[in-house]
Amino acid sequence: MTTTEKGLYPTEFWTVTAGDLAQKRDHLATPKPETTPGDAAKIVIDPADRHQEWIGAGAAITDAAASLIWKQSKEQRSALLHEMFDPEEGHFSTIRIPLGSCEPASQPYYTYDDVPFGEHDASLSKFSVGEGEPGAPDATKDLKYLIPVVQEILAINPAVKIMASPWSAPAWMKSTGELKMGGHLRFGEYTNNGYAIKDTFEGVYAQYFVRYLEEYRKYGIPVYAITIQNEPSNAAAWPAMIWKIPELAHFGYKFLRPALDKTFPDTKIYFWDGSLNVLDVIDKPLSELVTPDEAAAFDGFAFHTYDGPYTNLFKGSRLNPNWKLAMTERRCMIEETPEDASHIMFGLIGNWLVRQGLNMIDLWNIALDERGLPNQVGSTGRRGVVTIDHTTGKVQRNLEYYMLRNFNQDVVPGSIVIGSTNYTQDGYTGGLGSVAFLAPDGAIAAHLYNPSGKPLDAAVTINNDGLVTWQHVTVPAWGTVTLHKAFGPVNESAPRQDEDFKLNPYPANLMDDWAPGKGVNANKK
């Protein structure tokens, strides 16, 4: 623990991470206060300029990721989950989980109520999240990998917030009778004997969410929030279902929110949960597609950032001023360059989105293996937040890991985003970027980001009533510097060491995906 000469914040902790990971949250000696900024870029942090609440950051625990984690030795799994979720280590604070099968998955696709198309189960009598004991070799569905991994995470940090998203309703509830390739809910049709709301497919599907929450509660897993559909515009070759924007709004308002209010009134619903590019092609503004009453049934707006223009965020975020904003999915590839990966993680997500009101980050898979597997479609070359060798359980940490560690180790959930000087207007061009946070106890955390290929010097000051002094620091190419100023002890833990194994031994099989400012997004903001 270091003490500043200034004395206003007795405890300071600074780290540096390079875009090429030559430095990995290396501890920096606390810069001494100086009277002038010199030629460095001036970064002024203003605790009086207060913005949105910070909920937290984490990643998705898919069936694929959970299988890799669960197949580690007990000692390896404990070490990894503590490193990420323990408040005294990485302190990851959110996770996103699939509500039923998604892609990637280690098991064949399923939902919780699979009956042949043409049959109905209006009472959901066959509903099941799986058979067997959690984690047992003969367990099925969520009980095989997902539930036991989440249980271990919550045992380490019970405060972790969980968001759940379905990829598809059961096939018998859909127009196509198939889990894959889209289709839609059988809107306006009836199942059972009657014409009541509960007898519609919409009413039964709303109860499907309720049953899910009930079953997960039995296993000690509270769900903080749900979305109605992952990527509602994507008719993919894996579990998928299409929802038009008015359909999502009506279902949430008329069916899902009332059903939750009877049993899970505190569970939040986030709207959309798809890519921002869709909001560029709809023929009407969201305000004409979603009524104020419908919008009020939702607690937030969730979105993915695979394609721009990223300013489409405003079309969703400004629809309802009370909505929280959640970035619920983004991946990187094994062969991503330091520039591309940093533009996505540090620039677009960690800088631009947070400065535009983001409350929560959930990246895509928290873990994949050295090939980008497992999955059901043969896609290789992806990477998770960490990479786990599928034969040994050894772990390597990717740039995504260090971005999340920046947001979790230094920033307390419940903090407020505060003003700070920023010289990059889009997160990937211009000069130094910054985001800053004020904790409930008055502590300050900030991230400085360098979107260029050469080191840049910064001079940091806190805007307060005292004498203005500057602390000088160099931010490496494509990298970050973090600072945490507090009145008492702070988390000064260091990431654990990577283990050695070969990455990506097979040719990559990828779909198009680009960093901001590159490829298909070269001219998009």
List, in order of start, the domains of the chain with CATH numbers. Answer: 11-53+417-486 (2.60.40.1180), 56-415 (3.20.20.80)
DSSP string covering 390-434: TTT--EEE-HHHHHHHHHHHSS-TT-EEEEE----SSSSSSS-EE
Mention every residue, 6+ apart, whose C-beta is less than 8 A from residue 296: 253, 320, 322
Q: In the Cβ-directed half-sphere of 501, how many Cα atoms lie within 13 Å?
A: 18
In angstroms, the CA 514 to CA 306 distance is 7
Residue 520 is predicted with a pLDDT of 55
Bridge partners of 57, per DSSP, are 361
Q: Where are the beta strands (DSSP E) in 207-267?
A: 225-227
Bridge partners of 474, per DSSP, are 457
Mention every residue, 6+ apart, whose C-beta is less than 8 A from residue 525: 308, 309, 310, 311, 426
pLDDT in tens, the chain (525 residues): 344 444 689 999 999 999 999 999 999 999 999 999 999 999 999 999 999 999 999 999 999 999 999 999 999 999 999 999 999 999 999 999 999 999 999 999 999 999 998 899 999 999 999 999 999 999 999 999 999 999 999 999 999 999 999 999 999 999 999 999 999 999 999 998 778 888 999 999 999 999 999 999 999 999 999 999 999 999 999 999 999 999 999 999 999 999 999 999 999 999 999 999 888 888 788 999 999 999 999 999 999 998 888 999 999 998 998 999 999 999 888 878 899 999 999 999 999 999 999 999 999 999 999 999 999 988 888 899 999 999 999 999 999 999 999 999 999 999 999 999 999 999 999 999 999 999 999 999 999 999 999 999 999 999 986 788 999 999 999 999 999 999 999 999 999 999 999 987 777 766 556 667 666 566 665
Question: Which residue, among 476, 482, 478, 504, has the nearest Cα to 495 in the 3D structure?
Answer: 482
Dihedral, CA atoms, 325, 256, 63, 301, nearest 10 degrees? -10
Q: Under a CB-based contact definition with an 8 Å cutoff, are residues 79 and 393 in contact?
A: no
Q: At what angle do helices 74-85 and 63-71 cross, to 10 degrees?
A: 130
Residue 6 is predicted with a pLDDT of 46
Q: What's CA 149's distance to the chain center, in Å? A: 17
Question: Which residue, among 182, 170, 146, 183, has the nearest Cα to 61 in the 3D structure?
Answer: 146
Q: Where are the beta strands (DSSP E) in 321-359?
A: 324-329, 332-333
Residue appearing with tokens 């010289």: 423
Bridge partners of 387, per DSSP, are 368, 396
Structure tokens at 195: 């014409």
In angstroms, the CA 261 to CA 213 distance is 12
Q: In the Cβ-directed half-sphere of 24, how many Cα atoms lie within 13 Å?
A: 15
Peptide bond into 309 cis (omega under 30): yes
Overall size of the chain counted in residues = 525
Question: Which residue, among 280, 222, 281, 271, has the nearest Cα to 251 in the 3D structure?
Answer: 271
Mention every residue, 6+ apart, whose C-beta is less than 8 A from residue 261: none
Q: Where are the beta strands (DSSP E) in 154-298?
A: 161-165, 225-227, 268-275
Question: Sign of torsion, CA 196 202 205 210?
Answer: negative
What pTM did the predictor assign?
A: 0.95
Q: In the Cβ-directed half-sphere of 278, how many Cα atoms lie within 13 Å?
A: 17
Residue 2 is predicted with a pLDDT of 41
In angstroms, the CA 89 to CA 29 distance is 20
